[in-house]
Structure 1
Amino acid sequence: MMIQELLHLVYPRVCVSCGTLLQQPEQSICTTCLRSFDAFHDAAASGDAVREVLRRHYPSAPLPAAATVLYRFHRDDGLQTALHAMKYRGVFQLCNLFGALLATKIAGDSSAEDIGAVVAVPLHKLKKISRTYNQSELIARVIGRQCRLAVESRLIGRTKYTVSQTGLSAKERRTNVIDAFSPAGKPVPAHVLLVDDVMTTGSTVAAAMDVLAQCGAQKISLAIVALATS
């Protein structure tokens, strides 16, 4: 019996969403749960949905040139459970999984051909010390590796410590991220791919895009795991 099979007997690997035993080659989440998520199957549809959310909450914010989104976010479903495990419980395999799925979509999009850098929405240094990792950065690394794009961590920085956006109203989210980001000193290429795990009202993404645009980015594309559309 292989070592991995022995470990599976002693420490059963279960789906983070539904708790069922995983089968090879499943990692962290079962195929049934993955297929149950409300997926965007069309790149144009996901881009339109992102722009609609931004227009609704931030009419003066710059709009992305393109937006690749995997799923629609719904509260209290299996995807929310998986995202929580990825963000707070260190289930890094989900960063690899979602990063690979995003990379596959991006690689097939002609608008991505001139991307000069991939950048994750940064965490404040104190929050990163507390969590020990930035899930969006791990996703960005997978995208960069699979799409052969440079991943930059010093284009923008998080200079203001903010409370979690979870549970805040749209107005509170806007206030929370005012002056949250600033240039980090490295030259910003003309086309940047900005990566985040979840977009709700778009406050964080809008604030980050605004700083990137101020630093010289002429086109900003987005890669997001889940988007709240309602």
Structure 2
Amino acid sequence: MRRLAPYQTGLWLAEYMDMRCQLCRIYRSTPQSQLLHHQTQFRLDNITNVPPTRTALKQHSFLTDIIHQANSYLSSGLLCDHCHNDITWLPRPFEVDIAPSISLSIQASTYYEYPIRQAIRAFKHQEDMTKLPLLLHAIRQLPRPHGCHRNNSVIVAMPTTVQRLAKRGFDPVSILSAQLSKHWQIPVWQGIERIDDTVSQQGLSRAERLSNLDNAFALIEKPPTKRLLLFDDVSTTGASLQALARAFIPPAAVKSATASSHSSYQISAYVLAHGSKS
């Protein structure tokens, strides 16, 4: 029998056993009028670092709990309606150039702001798996690209280096991309590696980011399909995804005025959060 990783067990429990919103911790099917009150209290409690109120939870009978549990099996949402609607989903895609006449469209699930920003930071830097259900909810907002399916497309997760993996102990993008793969029913392909030992992209200008990523990625095998769906957790300027996309274009074509004729791949990019509203 295949054993589940700890984070997989946590996701399963959050989705099928915990009937509460993964953000405000109120039952997911609580009426909107009650949610407005509890959401206000939750925000006040969160600011002062006091655990959110559980008064509403005590008001539910055993029969109501069973109804909530049944409703949860029919819903893919891990947040209550109010918390879901309080977040801006699917901002307009932005584009970066990867070669002459070739641009890369980047679609984010949401913006890199509260509460997604805090959840991503805790997940990546503190290995806080309790934040993963919220990130899973965000991933599910990304609609599967039109015309893409498991037989003609692959997800290419932003690779990490051996040094970074050893330092962190796990690869957060790999975990997130596995959830996106399950959501879209499109396999993850791992035929590209990160060969650089660059510094963190945080705090760098766009020009510095691009220079930092020169020759950062290398193909170790040919992609099995022509449609490549790049994925990363956070994108600010798009420099990392830009460099990753360029790995699939012949070096001579990157500077060629007819680069589009040299590219045989259809490449688009998706991220959990876009780091800027500008």
Do they superpose with TM above 0.5? yes
Alignment of 1:8-23 (within 5 A): 18=46, 19=49, 20-21=51-52
Counterpart secondary structure, 2:247: helix
**1:86 counterpart residue number:** 123
Alignment of 1:1-230 (within 5 A): 18=46, 19=49, 20-21=51-52, 35-40=85-90, 46-47=92-93, 50-51=94-95, 54=96, 60=100, 62-64=102-104, 67-74=106-113, 77-99=114-136, 101-103=138-140, 105-107=142-144, 109-113=145-149, 115-153=152-190, 155-214=191-250, 218-227=265-274, 228-230=276-278
Cα distance, 1:33 vs. partner?
A: 5.8
Letter in 2 for 1:79: I
Cα distance, 1:170 vs. partner?
A: 1.4
Letter in 2 for 1:161: D
Counterpart secondary structure, 1:151: coil
**Contact 1:100/1:142 (8 A) holds in 2:** no
**Contact 2:116/2:135 (8 A) holds in 1:** no
Letter in 1 for 2:115: G
Quickly say closer, same or farther: Cα 1:176–1:71, change in 2 above 3 A.
same
**Contact 1:194/1:223 (8 A) holds in 2:** yes
Quickly say closer, same or farther: Cα 1:60–1:100, change in 2 above 3 A.
farther
Aligned counterparts of 2:237 and 2:101: Cα–Cα separation in 1: 12
- Unpaired runs of 5+ in structure 2? 1-12, 14-21, 25-42, 58-68, 70-77, 252-262
Letter in 2 for 1:130: K
Counterpart secondary structure, 2:269: strand
Query: How large is the RMSD of aligned CA atoms in angstroms?
Result: 3.5
**Contact 1:38/1:73 (8 A) holds in 2:** no
Identity over the aligned pairs, expressed in percent? 20
Q: Which has the higher contact order (CA 8 A, sep 6+)?
A: 1
TM-score (norm 2): 0.60
